[in-house]
Amino acid sequence: MRSRRDRYHHGDLRNALVAAATELARAGGPEAVVLREAARRVGVSATAAYRHFDNRQDLLLAVKLAAQERLADAMAGAVAAGAALSDRGEEAERRLLAMARGYIGFALAEPGLYRSAFQHQDLPPKEPGRHPRARSYAMLAEVLDELLAAGRMPASRRPYAEIAAWSPLHGLCLMFLDGSLALPGDEQRDEVIERVLDVVAAGLRHT
Amino acid sequence: MRSRRDRYHHGDLRNALVAAATELARAGGPEAVVLREAARRVGVSATAAYRHFDNRQDLLLAVKLAAQERLADAMAGAVAAGAALSDRGEEAERRLLAMARGYIGFALAEPGLYRSAFQHQDLPPKEPGRHPRARSYAMLAEVLDELLAAGRMPASRRPYAEIAAWSPLHGLCLMFLDGSLALPGDEQRDEVIERVLDVVAAGLRHT
DNA sequence: TGTACATCAGTGAACGCGCGTTCACTGATGTAC
DNA sequence: TGTACATCAGTGAACGCGCGTTCACTGATGTAC
């Protein structure tokens, strides 16, 4: 591994650049992703990056996707951290809440990555396989299907329920991050989170 | 008015710069706000801007506040556009929905301004009077109080209900704008909006 | 197994860019007397 | 009513900045024969 790095041909430069750029995003958000700096950190000339990315925007897209992966990991991790419940409906609700908490926790713990994951892109997505949030979206869809199957959600609520359930979390996190919500103290913040989750859960349950 | 502009002393340069910068934001989002360009458009040297703003960030803050004002206008306009209902509870619900639709409509019609209104700011807000979203927040608070008073919302839902009601709209709009939601066609988009509003309304109503 | 050569993946110097910001300045304004 | 002068609100030239990106190039690799 060490010997590979020392060689003229890096061997895994694309991934190394994405990792370095992602670290920049982690520290300072998407604006902080500087192609030259990423190359510098990998110990490679800036030009070398152009072997693997069309331009800075393209690198930023890779960072976006990496950040989305980490977000999905946080959600999956939160689900896995709790014990499964025997009742099907209760288990579905537990998982939904765990995902939500994992999501919010990630946003608050890694604001730079979170903002990068939802960073505005002018370009239309070219490759369908790269579609944003595919994994976390699928996780959410599955749990909503379970909720429906267990009779904890009316069928009329199912269409676009992913988006209805997701939007409040996303909006809340961004309001925390952009300073729109000036909340002093953690316990007040936690209380807000609880209120928002309550409303979402009730909204999905009732018609 | 014309004569004032021609004079060496502009007379209202601060507002003129904010207007020009806001137009830039309207066209291209907050990133497109360029201090020199705003000065150029007003017909003044770039240096003159420093009489009225500490730096670019300060100008951007003014744009943010201006965008928030326009958003509040859109919400108020949507409320005023409909006829008041005689029943107190129904009227409160009508207003809540009108505000929500005004909000979403603004975000979709003016994405550049909308993004500017919620643009990430590193600086802590210095002047309390400048606090973000004060006006629209107050509008929302009033209508939620009405809902509670009319018995359309349980008291347990009232705390932080502004945030719970707002977050879904905010999240939804940003997902539309950042391309996370690839929705072909307007009618599909409208359907998503309806689903989200349904869930919010049900969530506020039930416990 | 050895060699020729196309291809791949890097280098390093250079450029233009347009920005934000500073500087020393000057023209206009309004107030004191 | 007129003048002196402090203050306010502009000017225009200049700078540094660090970036993204291009260019002509060279060293390493792997495949054909």
How high is the pLDDT of residue B2?
Answer: 34
CB contact under 8 Å between B175 and A167, yes or no, is yes
Q: How far is the CA of B17 from the C1' of C27 (A)?
A: 21
Provide the pLDDT confidence category of residue A183 given band limits of 50, 70 and 90: confident
pLDDT tens digits, A39-63: 999 999 999 999 999 999 999 999 9
pLDDT tens digits, A63-93: 999 999 999 999 999 999 999 999 999 999 9
How high is the pLDDT of residue B121?
Answer: 72
DSSP assignment of chain A? -HHHHHSSS-SSHHHHHHHHHHHHHHHH-GGG--HHHHHHHHTS-GGGGGGT-SSHHHHHHHHHHHHHHHHHHHHHHHHHHSPPPSSHHHHHHHHHHHHHHHHHHHHHH-HHHHHHHT----SPP--GGG-TTHHHHHHHHHHHHHHHHTTSS-GGG-TTHHHHHHHHHHHHHHHHHTTSS---SHHHHHHHHHHHHHHHHHHHH--
Q: Which residues, 6 or more positions from B93, have their beta carbon under 8 angstroms from its beta carbon? A: B147, B152, B201
With a cut of 50, say whether residue A206 has pLDDT above it: yes
Query: Distance (Å, rounded) from C-alpha A91 to C-alpha A142?
Result: 12
Query: Distance (Å, rounded) from C-alpha A166 to C-alpha A71?
Result: 13
Nearest CB to B160 within list A157, A191, A200: A191
- Percent of chain B surpassing pLDDT 70: 90
Instruction: Give the residue from B96, B121, B163, B172 with the most A CB atoms within 10 Å of its CB, the best one to mutate.
Output: B163
Query: Distance (Å, rounded) from C-alpha A197 to C-alpha A104?
Result: 11
CB contact under 8 Å between B195 and A118, yes or no, is no
- Percent of chain B surpassing pLDDT 90: 82
Q: How far is the CA of A11 from the C1' of D15 (A)?
A: 42
Per-residue pLDDT, averaged over B68-94, amounts to: 97
Query: Distance (Å, rounded) from C-alpha A206 to C-alpha B10?
Result: 59
Is A116 within 8 Å of B120 (Cβ atoms)? no
Chain B residues touching A168 at Cβ < 8 A: 164, 167-168, 171, 200
CB contact under 8 Å between A178 and B120, yes or no, is yes
- What does pTM read for this prediction? 0.90
Nearest CB to B163 within list A167, A196, A200: A196
How high is the pLDDT of residue A193?
Answer: 97
- Which of the residue ranges A13-27, A133-147, B27-41, B113-127 would you say has the lowest mean pLDDT? B113-127
Q: Which residue has the tokens 């629209």?
A: B136
Q: Report residue B204 as tokens.
A: 């506020």
Nearest CB to B168 within list A131, A167, A195: A167
Helix (H) or strand (E) segment spanning residue B62: helix B56-81
Chain center to CA of A109: 12
CA dihedral in degrees (B60, A192, A91, A166; nearest 10)?
-20
A128-142, B111-125, B154-168: which has the highest mean pLDDT? B154-168
Provide the pLDDT confidence category of residue A5 given band limits of 50, 70 and 90: very low
Mean pLDDT, rounded, of chain B: 90
Q: Report residue A33 as tokens.
A: 């992703």
Q: In a 3-state reduction of DSSP, which class is residue B108?
A: helix
With a cut of 90, say whether residue B185 has pLDDT above it: no
Nearest alpha-carbon partner for A41 in A59, A24, A53: A24
pLDDT tens digits, A86-138: 999 999 999 999 999 999 999 999 999 999 999 877 655 545 444 556 899 99
CA distance, residue B110 to nearest chain A CA (Å):
15
